[in-house]
Structure formats: structure tokens, C-alpha cells
A and B are shown apart, each in its own frame.
Chain A
């Protein structure tokens, strides 16, 4: 299994600002994913980040709002841009093993005021 860290673990931000969340993995992985989980809800996939190519976004998520970087096989960032209170959520990154098992980071708890 992979060990995944995320920064920051939590933040409180003002509306209209942007926050960049970092995800670091202790091994090289091809597939990295970004999810959003609102309180008491399930996980919603935002996008898939592959190294060397543009991220693939799920329906309802766009690059202008959630730009993603994937500069190498161990690191990715997700930016939540021009935030509103509706963006308050937990953001999780995950990686996929060769057997399609997903391993999650601890999450970033974002509150937008």
C-alpha cells in the first residue's frame, strides 16, 4: 500500500480566494485522483490526474474552478479557485494500485466563510 500525505490538513478561507492543496505519495504511481466529500455524504470524483497529460474532469467539474497539476509521479496539487461557501468540503487525493485498489490521503478540510 502507498503512504499519502496532504497539505494543509485544514483551512478556513474567505470567499473569492483560492487554495492549493498538495498531495504527496511515497512511491511512484500512474493514477492519482481528487475527490470531494461533503459532510455526511459520499465521495465524488473531481478529476483524474495523470503525469504528463491534462487532468480528466468529471461532469460538473471544470478546469477553471479546479485546476490540477501533476508534475511528477509522486506529487499532485488541486486548486480550489474563487471559493464560495458551497466549496466547503473535505478534499481527498487517492492513488490506485495495480489491482485498482485505492489508497486515500488523510484529506483537507476546507471551510469557506
Chain B
């Protein structure tokens, strides 16, 4: 089936450093969502982007939807240990098919 790829697969950062994960699709997306899954937990909804070129911020997190609606990014400024977890994008294609990206696992070293 169609995949939504995320890079990098893993990222280790020192606390205080920035972090970015990228989400890429080969097809145009209706919307894109981002989820965070803490170790041992379940995915938790963070945000949804709908418009081409849209940028949204949540405190230290900045989310962007590409102009062509085929890619997205999540940027965390000055990471903290509470940011540890796996970040998934989830793409909604036309017809409301819903696919999770491959995920980026973030480790923050204190």
C-alpha cells in the first residue's frame, strides 16, 4: 500500500538542542496530523494542518504543511526530556483514507 515516509527514523539530541522530523508523501494529501507516542503509551493527537503552506505553533513545537500538500515537518525548539517519544505524522488522503507515517523516535539526552 501507499506509504508515508518520515525521516529520520531515529534522532538523539542533547537537551536544549533543536529537533526536526519530516513527513513525505508521494501523493497529495487532504490534511495531515501529528501524533506523539510516549514509550509504552498510545498515540496522542497534537495538531492538524489543512491548508497549503500552513504553519501552526504550540509553545516550542512548530508544524508546517508544504505548499504542494505532499510533505510536512515538525520542529521542536530547545528540546526537553519530556519531549522523548515517537512522533508520527498521519496523512488523510482523498476518500478519508488514513495512514500513519513510519515515525521518528526522539531520544533526549539530559
Contacts and interface: CB of A to CB of B under 8 A. Distances in A.
Contacts of B101: 42
B92 A100 contact: yes
B43 interface: yes
Contact of B103 (A42, A60, A103): A42
A64 interface: no
A102 B33 contact: yes
Interface residues of A, number: 22
Majority SS of interface residues in chain B?
Answer: strand
Contacts of B103: 41-42
Contacts of A33: 98
Interface string B83-106: 000001010100010111111010
A60 B48 CA distance: 28
A92 interface: yes
Contact of A101 (B33, B99, B100, B102): B33
Interface in B66-98: 88, 90, 92, 96, 98
A100 B88 contact: no
B96 A104 contact: no
Interface of A: 1, 33, 35, 40-45, 58-60, 92, 99-107
Given A41-B103, A100-B98, A105-B42, 14 more contacts: A1-B45, A33-B98, A42-B88, A43-B100, A45-B98, A45-B99, A60-B1, A92-B43, A100-B33, A101-B33, A101-B48, A102-B90, A102-B98, A106-B41
23 contacts: A1-B45, A35-B100, A41-B103, A42-B101, A43-B43, A43-B88, A44-B100, A45-B99, A45-B100, A58-B1, A92-B42, A100-B96, A100-B98, A101-B45, A101-B48, A102-B35, A102-B90, A102-B98, A103-B45, A104-B42, A104-B43, A106-B41, A106-B42
